[in-house]
């Protein structure tokens, strides 16, 4: 079971890179500021850097704050991770940006409840996740809108060609910031899962679990697997976010990336698991709305939001069902 859970954890991280990490480079690719393979390489490297230098507050929230390690077992972790992975790949099939963060949390809650009822659930990390569910889309929208308004006012008398040239270069920096911020938060989810899995294995599936530690090899391996996933796939998500939701130019891409990355980085410092998808998707909506309300293709945006809303109940039910299934073999 240990190797099975670790395998699922890395598959989840690969799916995270496939479906979620492209969010960090969607705008810089769609505005043609960077070539796709250059953007992918940058995203992979900076995801790793972000995961290495910012700490492990989010990883510890996932490992200790969602389910009680002394109640759940390895099959619970397997059920949660598999539920989140299946959801992520389904979203990828339909080209919808998915939130692996909330898929994993919901999967843990559903599987944990199936294992030990309410006694298996922890409120501390769950409340942080619910806080992130609200603040990341709201913060992304407001930050994108505010930054875009400020840019319009500051550069009101500057020629369009000059603005395009300035922000064509600036967007490389904002895309790098976005990729870095993704590593600070999203890469830590699987780190927490791996650390919890190893601790459970040492203690026995329902034994006394000691203090969880996030070893350096866990940090590096999780970040590397996510980077590979980004390099292999995810371009349908790039197209949805960067091309279908609203028309983007470098100046809009800069505002959206900077706003979303700020929200994500602050959340990582506070140990709040947030969704990169929510942050950048809502930031793009906020940027698009500054031109005119109809500039945002609200039909496409509605499909994205619907996928966000469905994530929690779908993954919780799937995690519950998979826990019950795996328990048949325990």
135 has pLDDT over 70: yes
pLDDT (mean) for 46-64: 83
In this prediction, residue 234 carries a pLDDT of 56
Whether pLDDT at 233 is above 60: yes
Q: What does the pLDDT read at residue 106?
A: 94
pLDDT tens digit sequence for 79-116: 999 999 898 778 767 766 667 788 999 999 999 999 99
Give just the sign of the alpha carbon dihedral 46, 47, 50, 51: negative
pTM over 0.85: no
**Residue 245 carries which DSSP code?**
S
Give the number of residues written for the chain.
Answer: 330
Residues 6+ apart with CB under 8 A from 138: 282
Query: How far is it, in rounded angstroms, from Cα 253 to Cα 144?
Result: 9
Instruction: Share the mean pLDDT of the chain.
Output: 83
Indicate whether 22 pLDDT > 90: no
**Beta-bridge mates of residue 67:** 121
C-alpha 319/C-alpha 325 separation (Å) is 10
Choice between 184 and 140, residue whose per-residue pLDDT is larger: 140
279's tokens: 């942050």
pLDDT at 214 over 80: yes
The residue among 246 and 328 whose pLDDT is bigger is 328
pLDDT band of 248, cuts 50, 70, 90: confident
Residue 242, pLDDT > 60, answer: no
For residue 126, what are the CA distances in angstroms to 47, 58, 108, 162, 167? 25, 12, 10, 47, 39
Q: How many CA atoms lie within 13 A of 86 on its CB side?
A: 15
Q: What is the pLDDT of residues 119-131, one digit of tens each?
A: 999 999 999 988 8
Exposed, middle or buried, 37 (CB in 10 Å: 0-12/13-18/19+)? exposed
């Amino acid at each position: 079971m240990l190797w099975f859970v670790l395998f699922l954890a890395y598959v989840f991280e690969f799916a995270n890179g496939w479906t979620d990490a492209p969010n960090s480079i969607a705008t810089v690719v769609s505005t043609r500021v960077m070539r796709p393979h250059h953007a992918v390489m940058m995203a992979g490297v900076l995801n790793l850097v972000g995961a290495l230098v910012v700490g492990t507050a989010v990883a510890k929230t996932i490992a200790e704050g969602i389910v009680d390690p002394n109640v759940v077992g390895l099959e619970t972790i397997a059920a949660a991770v598999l539920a989140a992975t299946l959801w992520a790949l389904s979203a990828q099939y339909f080209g919808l940006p998915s939130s692996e963060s909330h898929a994993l949390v919901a999967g843990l809650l559903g599987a944990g409840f199936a294992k030990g009822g309410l006694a298996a659930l922890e409120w501390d990390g769950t409340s942080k996740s619910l806080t992130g569910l609200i603040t990341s889309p709201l913060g992304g929208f407001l930050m994108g809108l505010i930054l875009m308004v400020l840019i319009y006012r500051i550069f009101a008398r500057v020629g369009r060609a000059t603005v395009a040239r300035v922000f064509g270069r600036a967007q490389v920096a904002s895309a790098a910031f976005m990729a870095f911020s993704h590593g600070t938060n999203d890469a830590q989810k699987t780190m927490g899962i791996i650390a919890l899995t190893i601790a459970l294995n040492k203690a026995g599936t329902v034994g006394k679990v000691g203090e969880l530690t996030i070893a350096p090899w866990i940090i590096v391996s999780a970040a590397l697997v996510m980077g590979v996933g980004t390099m292999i796939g995810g371009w349908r998500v790039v197209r949805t976010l960067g091309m279908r939701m609203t028309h983007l130019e470098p100046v809009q891409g800069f505002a959206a990336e900077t706003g979303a990355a700020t929200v994500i980085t602050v959340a990582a410092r506070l140990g709040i698991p947030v969704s990169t998808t929510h942050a950048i998707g809502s930031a793009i909506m906020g940027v698009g709305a500054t031109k005119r309300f109809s500039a945002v293709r609200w039909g496409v945006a509605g499909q994205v939001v619907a996928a966000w809303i469905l994530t929690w109940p779908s993954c919780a039910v799937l995690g519950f069902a998979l826990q019950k299934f795996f328990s048949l073999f325990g």
